[in-house]
Amino acid sequence: METFNSSQPANNQSRIVILRWGHRAQRDVRLTTHVALTARALRASGFILSDVTDLHIEETITKITQVWGGDFRFEMGTPWKTAVRDWKKKGGVIVHLTVYGENIQTSDVMQRIKMANKDVMLLVGSQKVPGEFYSEEVSDFNVAVGNQPHSECSALAIFLDRYFEGKELDKRFEKANKFIIPKERGKTVKEY
């Protein structure tokens, strides 16, 4: 499978790719799927399910992307250390989302990440992460959306919304076969 590289996309906007670490196939399928769907819906460029292969998640994300549009890449099985090393080698930055990191609200960490003007890989764990995730060798930034226990899915959503300043919520997805017409009541889905 082709791996992500951190070269700048054609539109010159920094890309965000999520690296999901610690997925346990018997326990984490639903939440890992939700992390990937949240990443896609909030305009991340792609998702790496590191160190494991889970064809069910790949099938779900591929199907959603084909029907609802967008250019969202899915990769799995890549060792996390390889993904991080390759990302850094090509000039990208690594942001570890952790409850122990710099608070997104009370620090200037988001400003520093944006000022780097580089592609971003977000490390999102599903279980206790290795201590080296916090080190300078792995993470350029350790970021918390709050310093209380919470879901990695909520941390990802808040980070992406802050990073894109809400602008990700009003853009139409290219290559969509379906789209939702927002309305006060009821449901309307249009098909191309």
Domain range list for the chain: 16-191
Q: What is the pLDDT along the chain (192 residues), one digit of tens a residue?
A: 345 554 444 455 689 999 999 888 778 889 999 999 999 999 999 999 999 999 999 999 999 999 999 999 999 999 999 999 999 999 999 999 999 999 999 999 999 999 999 999 999 998 889 999 999 999 999 999 989 989 999 999 999 999 999 999 988 899 999 999 999 999 999 998
Question: d(Cα 41, Cα 36) in Å, to the nearest integer?
Answer: 9
Q: How far apart are CA 99 and CA 166, in angstroms?
A: 22
* Threshold 0.75, pTM exceeds: yes
CATH class as words, domain 16-191: alpha beta
